[in-house]
Amino acid sequence: MKQYSSFFRIRFLAGLQYRTAAWAGISTQFAWGGMTILLFRAFYESDASSFPMPFSSLSTYLWLQQALLAMFMAWFFDNDIFDSISNGGIAYELCRPCDLYSMWFVKNMAIRLSRTVLRCVPILLVAAFLPAPYSVTLPAGWTAGLLFVVSLLLGFLVLIAFSMLIYLSAFYTISSLGIRLLATSVVEFFAGGIIPLPFLPESIQPFFYALPFASMQNTPFLIYTGYMQGDQALWSMAVQCAWLAGLVLVGRLLMRRALKKVVVQGG
């Protein structure tokens, strides 16, 4: 356990070094969030009765999404891992007396969290002081806040467990760029990264909720805004746990199979 926590610490501290990049990222995400909110305002003005949630909830959702973007962005991958698979560096990793799956998992967590830590506070602070319906608000209640924290963690783990599958695909292809692009667009869309899931037509929502992607950012954000409450929130969190267990299991199995066959060319 100690070794993993030091992997985590090294990666985390390395991630904290990129301050200029963080400021650039913060301004980008702020502009992005603002524009998205303005877009939804136009829809709101066209037909307020079709809005599935109060406008302030939507603003909160979108600001949370921007602030915690680094946790849930599907297009971000640790290139070191892809490189180590394609250039054979993985041979060194395999010599280490620790489990490869857990190590990659922990490294991913660390990079994403370090980016989030740098970026989320300024975004949330500024967003909190915006005029009323456009600002980020406090969670819908004490329980909502507590459940949000747990579910945020679960959703984060589900996302990483899924992106582990993409890393594993690099064992089978020479250039993983195509798969990464495909997976990214699928995850972003089905997780509610482009439009929040409650804004989809009611008839197709069950289909979206049946996929693991709804257990990523969607569940914690909807719990925070109070859209999901009580039993529904608990049920969604149970679903999160199930997906997490399932994806980790599949990932580990695939990794074992891939490692059995992996051939590292000497040199």
The contact set with other proteins (CB under 8 A) reads 18, 20-21, 23-25, 27-28, 31-32, 35, 38-39, 41-43, 45-47, 50, 174-175, 177-182, 184-186, 188-189, 194-195, 199-201, 204
Q: How far apart are CA 60 and CA 140, in angstroms?
A: 11
DSSP assigned state of 198? G
**Nearest residue (CB) to other proteins, 137 versus 176:** 176
Scan for tokens 């830590």, then name that residue.
117
CB of 211 to other proteins, least distance (A): 14
Cβ atoms of residues 247 and 161 within 8 Å: yes
The residue (of 144 and 183) whose beta carbon lies closer to other proteins is 183
CB 223, min distance to other proteins, A: 23
Distance between CA atoms of residues 158 and 166, nearest Å: 13
The nearer residue to other proteins, 4 or 199, going by C-beta atoms, is: 199
CB of 22 to other proteins, least distance (A): 9
Asked if residue 216 lies in contact with residue 240, where contact means CB atoms within 8 angstroms, the answer is no
d(CA 129, CA 179): 41
Considering the complex, what minimum distance in angstroms separates the CB of residue 75 from other proteins? 10
Contacts of 90 (CB under 8 A, 6+ apart): 84, 262, 264
Least Å distance between CB 260 and other proteins? 24
Q: Which is nearer to other proteins, 201 or 206 (CB)?
A: 201
For residue 206, the minimal CB distance to other proteins (Å) is 14
Q: Which is nearer to other proteins, 43 or 92 (CB)?
A: 43
Q: Pick the closest to residue 227 from 37, 36, 40, 60 (CA basis).
A: 60
Looking at beta carbons only, is 75 or 235 nearer to other proteins?
75
- As a residue count, the chain comes to 267
User: Structure tokens of 207?
Assistant: 């289909």
SS3 159: helix
